[in-house]
Amino acid sequence: MTQTLTAVEPTTSSRLGRRLWAILAVVLIADAIDLMDSTIMNIAAPTIQREIGGGEGLIKWLGASYALALGILLVVGGRLGDRFGRRRLFLIGIAGFGVASVLCAVAIDPAFLIAARLLQGAFGALLIPQGIGILIATFSREQFPTAASMFGPVLGGASIVGPILAGFLVGANIGGLTWRPMFLINIVLCAAGLIAGWKLLPPDRDLQKVSIDGLGSALLAVGMLGVLFGLIQGSTNGWTAVPVICLGLGVAGFIGFALRQRLATNPLIVPALFHNRGFTSGLLIGLGYFAVVNGFAYVVSLSFQMHLGLSPVGAALAMMPMMVGIIIASFVARPLIPMLGRNLVVAGLATTLAGIVALIAISIGAGDATNQWMLAPAILVLGLGMGASFSSIYDVAIGDLTTDLAGSASGSLSAVQQIASAIGSAVVTTIYFQTSATADANRPFIASLIVVGAITVVCLIAAPLLPKRAPQDAH
């Protein structure tokens, strides 16, 4: 048996040897798998719903379930890595992710598929936080910027490849399996990552006796599950006692979580963070913005397939301008964050709003004649705004924090971003379907745009509350 490589030799050079490049590749594979699996539902949801049923409710849950589990458990996953070893948790996470992917692929009914997607998100929450920790522990200070610079191109490519690959796999209908190969391909990727990780990742050392707030995590889970289940069930099947009670339990869970954070010895979100106006403003702006734009990205694909009649491949290609815009703006914005700070956030939000307004104008002007080619320029502008905002909001939000709080703040904000994605998928798709019972095919699309635009305006109004500058080493 090939022995696991031990410590990576320290060096003051910024160059990476073959071993370090291999370790970086393992971490990047894991992050790419996560990103692709978080976006493939944008393309595959209508096909899955047609094959196994579940109606609007399944489409809403497919967009929310993965991000929900990932967001709730992300901070916990990072702390489990500190306590039990990042290498160990990385291997467990990627193996579990592969198993959950197989369960997704063999699902024969909506409940089974949603449960498997939740399991995927849970193992993703074990997997993803370990990568950066492994790199920090393995790479020297001089080498780390080289490693960090690889995330942008790789994850940018994954954000484009994921939906396109999903579209082609669904369209190819390999072996009559339609959408299922999207998940089966994860077996190859996860197996490669598991074998390479076993051989390459350095052994766990200096484990910390970190306390994990299980009660806080449980209360957050109750809050999120209660609110999302109530919202989706009520909007799909009517506001009977069950969804109303679930919403009440969800609100109670959030209140309990907030109280727990004040009392816990090691809270998931350090209460001192909320004494900082910049952090609190950034968290709320990010929560609103990431919710609506991620939800809208889902709705764009639904509209392309369900109302414009595009195939999964066609919908994936029609969404390319958004993905290209996100990548371009991310690369341009990243080095400007320390210099422009809050002004970059304002520019990103304003560009997003410009894209939304253009999409509304085109949709109203063209009416039933609207097609994906008319929308492409405005979708590109929207993508540019999203890329600039994604790159800057949270970096600027921690601009006034002390060094000892910045790490906790970053982890909390990453979890909030995933939770926002889950909320946004549920809320925006609910608005979309609630307005779809009309002869005007553009009405659901326009209604969703109006909601996204309104929340973006609120974020713009709140932007002056952010710190003026991001930390100099925000990248």
Question: Would you list the DSSP string of 345-402?
Answer: HHHHHHHHHHHHHHHHHHHHHHGGG--HHHHHHHHHHHHHHHHHHHHHHHHHHTTTS-
pLDDT for position 316:
86
pLDDT for position 277:
86
pLDDT for position 7:
45
Whole-angstrom distance, CA of residue 296 vs CA of residue 421 = 10
Please say if the pLDDT value at position 3 is more than 70.
no
More confident residue, 349 or 176: 349
Please count the CA atoms within 13 angstroms of the CA of 307 that sit on its side-chain side: 27
Phi then psi for residue 379, to 5 deg, are -65, -35
- Reported as a pLDDT band with limits 50, 70 and 90, residue 351 is very high
- Reported as a pLDDT band with limits 50, 70 and 90, residue 15 is low
More confident residue, 348 or 424: 348
More confident residue, 434 or 88: 88
Please say if the pLDDT value at position 5 is more than 50.
no
The residue-averaged pLDDT of 215-228 equals 90
Give the single-character DSSP code of 336: G
The residue-averaged pLDDT of 366-393 equals 88
Per-residue pLDDT reduced to its tens digit, 27-58: 988 888 888 888 888 788 889 999 999 888 89
Whole-angstrom distance, CA of residue 81 vs CA of residue 130 = 6
Whole-angstrom distance, CA of residue 6 vs CA of residue 8 = 7
Q: What is the pTM of this model?
A: 0.85
pLDDT for position 472:
59
- Reported as a pLDDT band with limits 50, 70 and 90, residue 12 is very low
Percent with pLDDT over 70 in the chain: 93
Please say if the pLDDT value at position 282 is more than 60.
yes
Size of the chain, expressed as the number of residues it contains? 475
Structure tokens at 403: 């060094």
The residue-averaged pLDDT of 260-272 equals 82
Please say if the pLDDT value at position 380 is more than 50.
yes
Whole-angstrom distance, CA of residue 129 vs CA of residue 414 = 10
Q: Which amino acid is at 134?
A: I
Q: Look at residue 468 and give its three-state secondary structure.
A: coil
Least confident of 98-112, 225-239, 328-342, 460-474: 460-474
Whole-angstrom distance, CA of residue 432 vs CA of residue 444 = 5
- Reported as a pLDDT band with limits 50, 70 and 90, residue 234 is confident
Least confident of 151-155, 275-279, 430-434: 151-155
CATH of 18-203, one of 2.70.98.10, 3.30.70.20, 3.20.20.150, 1.20.1250.20: 1.20.1250.20
Per-residue pLDDT reduced to its tens digit, 125-137: 999 888 888 888 8
Instruction: Kindly report the average pLDDT of the chain as a whole number.
Output: 85
The superfamily (CATH) of domain 266-475 is MFS general substrate transporter like domains (1.20.1250.20)
- Geometric angle at alpha carbon 379, from 31 and 394, rounded to 5°: 45
pLDDT for position 425:
84
DSSP letter string, 56-67: HHHHHHHHHHHH
Whole-angstrom distance, CA of residue 62 vs CA of residue 72 = 16
pLDDT for position 396:
86
DSSP letter string, 72-137: HHHHHHHHHHHHH-HHHHHHHHHHHHHHHHHHHHT--SHHHHHHHHHHHHHHHHHHHHHHHHHHHH
Per-residue pLDDT reduced to its tens digit, 156-209: 777 777 888 888 888 888 888 899 999 999 999 999 999 999 999 988 877 777
More confident residue, 190 or 338: 190
pLDDT for position 2:
38
Give the single-character DSSP code of 142: T
pLDDT for position 253:
92
Q: Which of 137, 145, 121 is nearest to 33 (CA)?
A: 121
More confident residue, 236 or 328: 328
